[in-house]
Amino acid sequence: MSWLNSSLAAILPIFPKWIARPFAAPYVAGESLDDALNIVRSLNDKGFKATMDILGEHVHSKEEAFQVRDAYQMLYDRIAEWRLDSNVSLKPTHLGMEIDASLAEDNILSILAKAKEHDNFLRIDMENSPYTDKTVHIYNECLNQYPKVGTVLQAYLFRTIEDVQSLNAPSFNCRICKGIYKESPQIALQDRQEINENFLAATKSLILGGSYAAIATHDISLIDDLETWIEDKKIPKNRYEFQVLYGVPMNGRLEALLHNGHTVRIYVPFGDAWFDYSIRRLKENPNILWYILKNMFKKRSTHE
């Protein structure tokens, strides 16, 4: 069955979007802002926090970057208007970093001012390695202006443990994830077990060093290991949270985390750039195709 899932994930990009939409829908909280806000409200009602992301990256003009900036500023306004428990995540290339790093910095600082206006939090996502140092620089500039800001470190990069050591501080709010971009063996671990070990080491180092760790993984064995470690070390529950992507099936593990008193935040992407994002998710975890197909047929049989 796995070969079939992988084959379907590989060929979906060549089909018209209307064919791919049912497979993409579980991962994306709609194309409109109101769609996404409603999803976040339903997550909040179940006890989950959220972080909202406007899909897209690598804009090609300053005008596009300014439009994205304005959309993020409005997003903060709407989160406040709806009284949602959600912060915001953004990608620097979506704000113009590929055009000019200073353009992205200016745009992100403008968005940060809106976050400050609403006493909310901003997460600066980490993209592939050409942007790592620039992203860390922008994060530091933001931190100089407002404390409720964080960034992301990726466990598969060799440099990550060193980055943890240099950034570790009570003011550092870090989402730690494995990493999704294709990187060279010269700069990134390729073996799954080694990546997992680095993930655990980086997460523990962040927490023991005084930072706030947003533990972002769908790997249930890693979640289990870290939950046990947190409980053994008696880590206060305000020092970390667990994070997952919207739509990824977790077989009740998230509800169990909530039941045990842990904070769980769902990464909620939305917008008209849903296609490329969803295809990437499916390629990362093609087994989810079978999960989606089963649900589609189950719904169909229910209505017949």
124-176 pLDDT tens trace: 999 999 999 999 999 999 999 999 999 999 999 999 999 999 999 999 999 99
Do the domain assignments include residue 92? yes
Q: What is the pLDDT of residues 267-292, one digit of tens each?
A: 999 998 766 666 665 565 555 454 44
Contact (CB, 8 A) for 88 and 52: yes
- For residue 4, what pLDDT band results from cuts at 50, 70 and 90? very low
Q: Which CATH number characterizes residue 212's domain?
A: 3.20.20.220
Do the domain assignments include residue 277? no
Q: Which of 69, 123, 175, 265 is catalytic?
A: 175
The least confident of 210-224, 273-287, 290-304 is 290-304
Do the domain assignments include residue 158? yes
pLDDT of residue 295 exceeding 50:
no
**Based on the structure, what is the number of domains in the chain?**
1
Contact (CB, 8 A) for 189 and 158: yes
Do the domain assignments include residue 297? no
Q: What is the pLDDT of residue 148?
A: 98
Report the b/e string of 13-46 with b at 16+ CB within 10 A.
eeeeeeebeebbebbbbbeebeebbebbeebbee
The least confident of 9-18, 26-35, 129-138, 208-217 is 9-18
Do the domain assignments include residue 20? no
Q: What is the pLDDT of residue 10?
A: 56
d(CA 207, CA 209): 5
Amino acid at 161: I
Do the domain assignments include residue 280? no
Does the annotation count 125 as an active-site position?
yes
Do the domain assignments include residue 173? yes
pLDDT of residue 302 exceeding 50:
no
Contact (CB, 8 A) for 270 and 54: yes
The domain containing residue 249 runs over which residues? 29-270
Contact (CB, 8 A) for 211 and 165: no
Q: What is the pLDDT of residue 291?
A: 45
Q: Which of 53, 69, 123, 125 is catalytic?
A: 125
Do the domain assignments include residue 106? yes
